[in-house]
């Protein structure tokens, strides 16, 4: 189980306009005797609209939900310290929901869905509490397979950004904590 705080990185409008609030990823991982591991799980992130970066008051944000598989190498250096370095591959559905009306006549709110591929290299530094529990520091850098645009949150203007600013893949850095329960004996 991972719980972290995501922060937009490369796409400047996404970095400035959307502020990461939570990233959660429960998953099951199996480690082979040779320290290679495979995992499968789900991931949810929420980014809120930063009201101080948009031209008019807008509530809402982006919900990102998906599933992934992870391939990694889990290595114990001592009986109390391990690392896990790997990559998550998955697919996400990203829902942009804001309080901004779709047009001047309707009261319907802006809702956009963007499906995307997810690739996220991760590193986990774990301290083992007892034979079956460990706590970790986790760092991940997620690449989403879409380019954020201001129309996704209901704005037509460029809001001071150039076309090249919007033309970059959405990505974010997540720093957080993890909890691991070992169902079987660990591979030391």
**Number of H helices and number of E strands within the chain?**
2, 9
* Radius of gyration for the alpha carbons in the chain, expressed in angstroms and rounded: 19
Domains and CATH numbers, the chain: 2-181 (2.40.160.20)
- The neighbouring-strand residues paired with 46 are 22, 63
- The neighbouring-strand residues paired with 139 are 123, 175
Confidence of residue 187 (pLDDT cuts 50, 70, 90): low
Confidence of residue 106 (pLDDT cuts 50, 70, 90): low
Could you tell me if 170 and 147 are in contact, meaning their C-beta atoms sit under 8 angstroms apart?
yes
What is the phi/psi pair of residue 102, to 5°?
-65, -40
Does residue 104 carry a pLDDT above 70?
no
Q: Output the pTM of the full model.
A: 0.90
Q: What is the pLDDT of residues 130-159, one digit of tens each?
A: 988 999 999 999 999 999 998 899 888 888
């Amino acid at each position: 189980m991972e719980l972290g705080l995501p922060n937009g990185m490369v796409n400047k409008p996404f970095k400035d306009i959307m502020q990461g609030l939570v990233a959660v990823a429960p998953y099951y991982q199996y480690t082979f005797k040779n320290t290679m591991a495979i995992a499968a799980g789900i991931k949810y992130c929420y980014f809120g609209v930063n009201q101080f970066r948009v031209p008019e008051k807008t509530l809402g944000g982006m919900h990102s939900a998906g599933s992934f598989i992870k391939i990694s190498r889990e290595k114990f250096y001592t009986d109390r310290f391990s690392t896990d370095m790997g990559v998550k591959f998955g697919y996400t559905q990203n829902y942009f929901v804001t309080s901004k009306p779709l047009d001047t006549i309707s009261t319907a709110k802006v809702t956009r869905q963007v499906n995307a591929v997810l690739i996220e290299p991760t590193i986990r530094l774990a301290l083992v509490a007892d034979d079956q529990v460990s706590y970790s520091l986790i760092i991940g850098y997620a690449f989403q397979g879409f380019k954020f645009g201001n129309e996704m949150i209901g704005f037509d203007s460029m809001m001071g950004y150039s076309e090249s600013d919007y033309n970059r893949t959405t990505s974010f850095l997540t720093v957080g904590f993890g909890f691991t329960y070992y169902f079987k004996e660990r591979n030391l």
